[in-house]
Amino acid sequence: MWNKEQLTQLLQDKLKDTKFIMVANRQPYKHILRDGKVTYVKPTGGVVSALDPVMRVCKGLWVAYGDGDADKKVTGEDGKIAVPPDNPSYTLKRIWLNNTEADGYYYGFANEVLWPLCHVVYQRPLFNPEDWKHYVAVNQRFADAVLEEIKDDDDAFIFVQDYHLALFPKFVKEKRPDVRIAQFWHIPWPNPEAFRICPQAKEILEGLLANDLFTLHVRQHVNHFLDTVGQLIEGRVDMERVSVVKDEHETLVRHTPISVDFDEISQLASEPEIETLMKELKEKHNVGDDQLIFGGLERMDYTKGIPERLIGYRRFLEKYPQFRGKVVYFQAGELSRTHIEKYRQLNKEIESIIDDINWKYSEGDWKPVIMCRDLLSTKQIYALFRMSHSFVVSSLHDGMNLVAKEYVASRSDEKGSLILSRFTGSARELTQSIQVNPYDQEEMAEAFKKATKMSPKEQTRRMKKLRQSVSENNIYKWIGTIISNLTNI
């Protein structure tokens, strides 16, 4: 089974004198001002939760956008700071963007074009030529910041994350064709008919094909990517090698499902302190010990199916009145990308459905839905997982969904059940979950009922299998496979 030690050994064997550079839009630690004092938080989301443990082992350099309001106060003139702040083991290099750049590159092209385009959840992408200009310029800035770190005779491995940096590989390879670059695409890849409407589709594909290795979560997304390349640009798709050859450069295309640090989560979530935090969370939100809790946690994003989940829960309460007063749905998670109108609308919609459910069904002290707006610490998140009789992940489309895997990793007590959308990458591995189509409110209502009725014995039988799957396919296996694929080229 893959673990930290095996990854360390692999790095020794294959990348000994090689600079390891991670490049992502999102930084692993963000410094902020709270009550006039500088403190730090760990941003939520798959990139950080999966890659921070990896970097703690690889000990390289992470290059990212410094978006914290106190980042500059603690960062050196070279943009660098040692992290994790309490126990440093690698270096973070921050890139500064002004509001116009962040608007065009991050909110604009990345999140109003590529995000809806790739998720296909019926949100229309907004193509704005100005945003594209900023996307190009910021990708070039990231490339320059990384190139600065690689001396002429250095051997380097650059590991790029996600859809914010599709042009980065091309900009780096133009200057340094010798460095090896791999990119992981954390979101789905749509079919060619969906992707081809992007006015810059060709440029995006050409940027990505400068990688030596391009990898996504699941085979279906690999197939979509190869079909898109085959239909939209000149290049040879080699189905035998699963690669694309363009201008005599080959890009291997692979699927490597991302995961979490199973052992670390399992151990931290079992610490006695978690019990205290569970008690505190319940007390603060007025949840009785005899109530069954359904948990939900995510960035408030329209791809996560939060309104659909609440509608399914409302149907469950309507259809099965015997559960009123006995169950609670506890939703936590950070507001996200609120600079974008669609996200503001989503938050209003969520508020309004919660208000409707609570107005219709509350009785005495009991409220069927609790919305927790607190910024939860990692340990409080584990407490939420542990106190949830059942956890609900209802994404309308998701590359993987690591919250589902984190929930499983945290349940060392082998209790609890997982209601999971079939439209997540993780549904392919977490087959012992209760799988649902979040758009189908009847099926959602039945899933809530099934979770409520599941015997402790059945919960444990399923949870054991779920845990075995996440423990075997952990984050060290993911990065180990990517490094092995790359170094075997």
Q: Where on the chain is the footprint of ligand F6P (CB under 6 A)?
A: 26, 45-47, 162, 186-187, 299, 336, 399
Minimum CB–partner distance for residue 48 and ligand F6P (Å): 6
Q: Are 378 and 168 in contact (CB under 8 A)?
A: no
**Which is closer to ligand F6P, CB of 304 or CB of 462?**
304
Minimum CB–partner distance for residue 465 and ligand F6P (Å): 26
**Which is closer to ligand F6P, CB of 213 or CB of 277?**
213
Minimum CB–partner distance for residue 163 and ligand F6P (Å): 7
Residues in a beta bridge with 38: 33
Task: List the one residue out of 44, 160, 220 whose CA is nearest residue 482.
Answer: 160
**Which is closer to ligand F6P, CB of 42 or CB of 285?**
42
Other beta carbons less than 10 A from residue 454's beta carbon: 17
Task: List the one residue out of 489, 483, 487 whose CA is nearest residue 159.
Answer: 483
Minimum CB–partner distance for residue 47 and ligand F6P (Å): 4
Minimum CB–partner distance for residue 120 and ligand F6P (Å): 14
Closest-by-Cβ residue to ligand F6P is 45
**Which is closer to ligand F6P, CB of 61 or CB of 400?**
400
Scanning the structure block, which residue is given the tokens 């609308």? 345
What's the one-letter identity of residue 458? E
Handedness of CA 341, 343, 347, 352 (dihedral sign): positive
- For 386, half-sphere exposure in the C-beta direction (CA atoms, 13 angstrom radius) is 27
Minimum CB–partner distance for residue 442 and ligand F6P (Å): 29
Contacting residues for 145 by C-beta, under 8 A, at least 6 apart: 63, 79, 93, 95
**Which is closer to ligand F6P, CB of 299 or CB of 319?**
299
Task: List the one residue out of 168, 174, 175, 238 whose CA is nearest residue 203.
Answer: 168
**Which is closer to ligand F6P, CB of 45 or CB of 190?**
45
DSSP-assigned letter for residue 191: -
**Which is closer to ligand F6P, CB of 51 or CB of 350?**
51
**Which is closer to ligand F6P, CB of 207 or CB of 368?**
207
Burial class from Cβ neighbours inside 10 Å (0-12, 13-18, 19+) for residue 195 reads buried
Minimum CB–partner distance for residue 69 and ligand F6P (Å): 16
**Which is closer to ligand F6P, CB of 7 or CB of 187?**
187
Q: What is the largest CA-CA distance in the chain?
A: 72
Minimum CB–partner distance for residue 227 and ligand F6P (Å): 22
DSSP-assigned letter for residue 61: E
DSSP-assigned letter for residue 211: S
Handedness of CA 400, 401, 402, 406 (dihedral sign): negative
Minimum CB–partner distance for residue 426 and ligand F6P (Å): 12
Contacting residues for 84 by C-beta, under 8 A, at least 6 apart: 28, 29, 52, 56
**Which is closer to ligand F6P, CB of 278 or CB of 346?**
346
The alpha-helical segments, DSSP class H, found in 59-128 are 71-74, 99-102, 115-119
**Which is closer to ligand F6P, CB of 20 or CB of 107?**
107
Minimum CB–partner distance for residue 41 and ligand F6P (Å): 12
Strand order in the sheet with 236-238: 80-83, 90-95, 61-65, 18-23, 155-161, 180-184, 213-216, 249-255, 243-246, 236-238
Phi-psi region at 35: left, alpha or beta (left = phi > 0; alpha = psi -120 to 50): left
Minimum CB–partner distance for residue 301 and ligand F6P (Å): 8
